[in-house]
Structure 1
Amino acid sequence: MSYPLFSLDGRLALITGSSQGIGLALAEGLAAHGAAVVINGRDRAKVDIATAKLTSSGYRAHASYFDVTDLAAVKQAIERIESDIGAIDILINNAGMQFRAPLEDFPEDKWLQLLQTNVSSVFYTGQSVAQYMIRRRRGKIINIASVQSELARPSIAPYTATKGAVRNLTRGMCTDWAKYGLQINAIAPGYFKTPLNQALIDNPDFSSWLEKRTPAGRWGNVEELVGAAIFLASDASSFVNGQVIHIDGGITASL
């Protein structure tokens, strides 16, 4: 049975930070629904492994090595993709990092690195891709926010600040670019089993607390983010704009 509203046939998607974790899961999901995907990262070996994994499964995948925190590099990379691979129909701003420390002792260099990686990268890549999408009067941008766009926990205040910024940057992108035919939304994952969360996964006290705190009673699996990404990347969401969809097992809905 075919569901054309959710088809991504003929679309090209760029997913930043997609050599592992959530980014790779989303790339695989979009590819399985018909999109060609561009795998991005700074580590060439990881990007090549991820790209080869997708192509060996019969998907159309391309590699693009660039640092999302370097505006000049971003602009050059987007120009190369547009000229050598094709028009970017879908952008998923997924690249991000975490660093934990008490706020009173939080290192300045890590604060600046978090801002560059989690916020500036979304602005740089979003703006660079949008300039092409605006000319075509169409395009989908999906930013990866977090439950920490709404909540806070000890030792991650700067991360929380960056993800709150992603939430509102999503709304700002919608406000400025919807008139050109673009849809810009965000996915806010809860606690998922990813390399970014490995320290928490390995901590039995934290895992026990999380399972009790989350109505669903468990960690999320990255594959459970794919459905929302397909919806937001497809024609099914043609009038959905500026929204943040929480995929968190109910953690933001319950005290």
Structure 2
Amino acid sequence: MQGIQGEVFFVTGGAQGVGFAVAQAIGTAGGAVAIADISEAGVQAAVERLAQQGIRARGDVLDVRDGVATRDVVARIEQDLGPLAGLVPCAGITRTRPAESMDEDAWRDVLDINVTGTFYSCQAAGRVMLERERGVIVTIASITSFGGQPGRVNYAASKWAVAGMTKSLAVEWGGRGIRVNAVGPNAVDTPMLRKGVPERFVDDIMCDRTPLGRVARAEEIASVVLFLLSDSASYINGAVIPVDGGLTAGFLTHRQGRDYASTALEHARA
């Protein structure tokens, strides 16, 4: 894919889930990929899996809340793999609590990792790419960047912030050769989803209210990220693209949108 082949990309949160799927997609398209994650065992396993597929990869243990450490990782990537062409900051967490009883740690951890960590990653990668006036960043927003969810006020605040950050960086850096966009996934079938959301809720609520009737596969999110990283998206800048199976296309939906929710329409259908 043009703009990927032979280039170097940095993916945070790359040990599993969407992050690993993005790293794999980049490597399959001919790019070299550096992943970072807070789990040392996860990083090692992910790099081994990528290498087994013939993908040029390296890994670092990184807490994205540490701006200095993030800049150091970017420097090592450029030393070992070459000039950085793109960044996908996938590191993120969720801590579900009722708003009235949400403790300080649940609020702070989500905002620190999802917002501050994303900014530090963009800042560190942006600095080196701006020197060459060439590069691309794709952040990970959410359907929750377009609305709210009960029990996830911290997560919603963080993902609205990521969307705003994406647009601000696109405006600030677009004229200096750096495109910045975001994808906004619906629920994705990852360990974080299966660990944090009851299966009944996934089936009865998430899938029921999504027109395509299912959650996304990580590879489906990665394919849109790969497109945005490539030269095929060369005039897309500042966009937050829903990748949500149609969830945000409507409202008051039920049974994948087949409920007419109107007496007149229900009679017409009969």
Structure 2 counterpart SS, 1:13: strand
The one of 176, 183, 186 equivalent to 1:180 is 176
Paired residues of 2:22 and 2:223 also in contact (CA < 8 A): no
| SS in structure 2 of the partner of residue 153 of structure 1 | coil
Tell me which residue corresponds to 1:100: 96
Correspondence 1:1-255 to 2 at 5 A: 5=2, 8-199=4-195, 202-255=198-251
Q: Secondary structure at the match of 2:4?
A: coil
Runs of 4+ in 1 over 2 A off after TM superposition: 199-203
Equivalent AA in structure 2 for residue 110 of structure 1: A
| Preserved contact between residue 215 and residue 251 of structure 1 (Cα < 8 Å) | yes
- d(CA) in 2 for partners of 1:54 and 1:185? 25
Instruction: Tell me the CA shift for residue 201 of structure 1.
Output: 5.3
Q: For the Cα contact (< 8 Å) 2:115–2:158, is it kept in 1?
A: yes
Q: CA deviation at 1:229?
A: 1.3
Change (3 A) 1:205 1:120: closer
Aligned-pair distance for 1:239?
1.2
8 Å Cα contact 2:181-2:237 kept in structure 1: yes
CA–CA separation in structure 2 for the residues paired with 1:156 and 1:205: 15
Contact (CA 8 Å) 1:215, 1:254: kept in 2 or not?
no
Question: Residue 7 of structure 2 contacts residue 32 of structure 2 at CA under 8 Å; is this kept in 1?
Answer: yes
1:124 and 1:200, CA in 2 relative to 1: closer, same or farther beyond 3 A? closer
Task: Confirm or deny: 8 A CA contact 1:13 1:91 kept in the other structure.
Answer: yes
Query: 1:203 Cα deviation (Å)?
Result: 2.5
- Is the Cα–Cα contact under 8 Å of residues 211 and 247 in structure 2 kept in the other structure? yes
Is the deviation greater in 202-211 or in 236-245?
A: 202-211
Gaps of 5+ in 2: 252-270
Identity, % of aligned pairs?
34
Preserved contact between residue 32 and residue 81 of structure 2 (Cα < 8 Å)? no
Cα deviation 1:21-58 (Å, max 9, x = unaligned) = 01001110111111111111121111000000010111
CA–CA distance in structure 1, aligned partners of residues 222 and 20 of structure 2: 10
Q: CA deviation at 1:228?
A: 1.0
Structure 1: stretches of 5+ with no match in the other structure: none
How far is the alpha carbon of 1:8 from its aligned partner?
A: 1.3
Q: Cα offset for 1:200?
A: 5.4
The structure with more radius of gyration: 2
Question: How many Å apart are 1:64 and its aligned residue?
Answer: 1.6
Contact 1:13 1:37 in 2 (8 A): yes
Shift of 1:67: 1.1
What is the deviation of 1:85? 2.3
d(CA) in 1 for partners of 2:188, 2:197: 9
Cα separation, partners in 2 of 1:9 and 1:111, compared to 1, 3 Å: same
Q: Which amino acid aligns with 1:100?
A: T
Q: Specify the SS of the correspondent of 2:208.
A: helix
| Equivalent residue letter for 1:141 | I
1:202 CA drift (Å): 4.0
TM-aligned CA deviation for residue 16 of structure 1: 0.2
Q: How many residues align?
A: 251
RMSD value, Cα: 1.2
